[in-house]
């Protein structure tokens, strides 16, 4: 029988995502409801290593559900990936009697949690917070809905001016390793081409269809590109198109970190509240080293090692649909 947790720590780590504050709020208030002591850890694992940890009360999370970013701040902490860093972190938790951890972040953050939980007996529960939506064991991650809607709003605006000028626009969205934002925002804005890291970019086919349009004097075309696409993003793709089609009027927009900020959508606030609540419930039930996910609208637990090893795969049927709908 695992012993019941009494004091939990919560942190946000890796790239921030809109809705992380709603998740922190859910963790703190669920913990307090169960009469646990709750501690906020600043800047992810950095705060754990450097002992930047403070007691949280219900009012610590008042008026944050609607705010983007994270009140606990975030970081990518190299020291925690060294045994000495994890030892320091453990000592800092131990001296406060913290016996359970909720980690809100993406796969890099869960990799850290997995290493830590293999070495020290502090149960860790992961809550997937990443705009990339690239975690195995969940169909939903906190921040994706907001980020993709930010991208859609921006691309809709670009489409207006693109259409007015008959231009080729290449819009780069975030996603170093994952094409979900590109795929969803591209489909939702009627992009002719969507280039993502998960598939090979058929540049010849793109040039061919653009040349065809140029011949018909109707060269207007929207290409949505994930930053981690094979050629290296929108500017690289534009370079190739400009070289091969010197008369084409090509413009590039890189949306960048605008996708990570802003007011979280209703969906992200709900998902974050739900997952934060279940993260604490699962620690109380003695679950260890799992990620709380959602599959088919139901809460689903995946062992952390599986969540970090496997990638959520993009179904190939989507790419077929993109082609058909853009033709």
Active site residue ranges = 132
Edge-first strand listing for the sheet containing 53-56: 53-56, 37-41, 7-12, 100-105, 124-128, 290-295, 298-303
Q: Between residues 15 and 18, which has the closer beta carbon with respect to ligand F6P? A: 15
Least gap, CB of 80 to ligand F6P (angstroms): 16
CB 31 within 8 Å of CB 123: no
CB 21 within 8 Å of CB 64: yes
Residue 54: closest CA among 43, 40, 44: 40
Least gap, CB of 148 to ligand F6P (angstroms): 12
For ligand F6P, the binding residues (CB under 6 A) are 15, 106, 130-132, 174-176, 227, 260
Contacts of 39 (CB under 8 A, 6+ apart): 7, 8, 9, 10, 53, 54, 55, 56, 96, 98
Q: Between residues 85 and 197, which has the closer beta carbon with respect to ligand F6P? A: 197
Contacts of 105 (CB under 8 A, 6+ apart): 11, 12, 13, 14, 44, 74, 126, 127, 128, 129, 130
Least gap, CB of 107 to ligand F6P (angstroms): 9
Render 301-324 in DSSP notation, one character per residue. Answer: EEEHHHHHHSBPPPPHHHHHHHHH
CA pseudo-torsion sign 292, 111, 132, 196 = negative
Apex 325 CA angle, 259 and 192, nearest 5: 55
User: 142: which DSSP letter?
Assistant: B
Strand 290-295 and strand 298-303: the pairing is antiparallel
Distance between CA atoms of 310 and 291, rounded to whole angstroms?
13
Least gap, CB of 8 to ligand F6P (angstroms): 25
Q: Between residues 132 and 268, which has the closer beta carbon with respect to ligand F6P? A: 132
Distance between CA atoms of 2 and 112, rounded to whole angstroms?
22
Least gap, CB of 226 to ligand F6P (angstroms): 8
Distance between CA atoms of 125 and 280, rounded to whole angstroms?
8
Least gap, CB of 150 to ligand F6P (angstroms): 12
Q: Between residues 74 and 282, which has the closer beta carbon with respect to ligand F6P? A: 74
Distance between CA atoms of 258 and 55, rounded to whole angstroms?
32
Q: Between residues 80 and 90, which has the closer beta carbon with respect to ligand F6P? A: 80
Q: Between residues 168 and 174, which has the closer beta carbon with respect to ligand F6P? A: 174
**Residue with nearest beta carbon to ligand F6P:** 176
Least gap, CB of 232 to ligand F6P (angstroms): 13
Q: Between residues 212 and 310, which has the closer beta carbon with respect to ligand F6P? A: 310
């Amino acid at each position: 029988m695992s012993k019941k947790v009494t004091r939990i720590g919560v942190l946000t780590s890796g790239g921030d995502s809109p809705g992380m504050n709603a998740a922190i709020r859910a963790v703190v208030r669920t913990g307090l409801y169960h009469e646990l002591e709750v501690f906020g850890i600043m800047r992810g694992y950095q705060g754990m290593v450097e002992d930047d940890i403070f007691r949280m009360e219900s009012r610590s999370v008042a008026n944050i559900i609607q705010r983007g970013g994270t009140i606990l701040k975030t970081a990518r902490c190299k020291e925690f990936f060294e045994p000495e860093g994890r030892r320091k972190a453990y000592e800092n938790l131990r001296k406060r009697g913290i016996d359970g951890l909720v980690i809100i972040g993406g796969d890099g953050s869960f990799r850290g949690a997995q290493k830590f939980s293999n070495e020290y007996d502090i149960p860790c529960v992961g809550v997937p917070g990443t705009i990339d939506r690239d975690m195995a064991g969940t169909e939903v991650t906190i921040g994706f809905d907001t980020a993709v809607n930010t991208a859609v709003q921006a691309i809709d605006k670009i489409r207006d001016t693109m259409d007015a000028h008959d231009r080729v626009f290449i819009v780069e969205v975030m996603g170093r390793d994952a094409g979900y934002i590109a795929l969803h925002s591209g489909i939702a804005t009627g992009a002719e081409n969507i280039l993502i890291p998960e598939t090979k970019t058929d540049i010849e086919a793109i040039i061919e269809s653009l040349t065809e349009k140029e011949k018909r004097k109707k060269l207007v075309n929207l290409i949505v590109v994930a930053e981690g696409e094979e050629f290296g993003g929108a500017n690289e793709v534009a370079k190739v198109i400009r070289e091969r089609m010197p008369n084409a009027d090509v413009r590039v927009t890189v949306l960048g970190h605008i996708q990570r900020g802003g007011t979280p959508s209703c969906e992200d606030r709900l998902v974050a509240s739900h997952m934060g609540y279940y993260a604490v419930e699962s620690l109380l039930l003695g679950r260890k080293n799992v990620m709380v996910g959602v599959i088919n609208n139901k809460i689903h637990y995946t062992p952390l090692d599986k969540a970090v090893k496997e990638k959520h795969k993009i179904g190939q049927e989507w790419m077929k649909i993109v082609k058909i709908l853009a033709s």
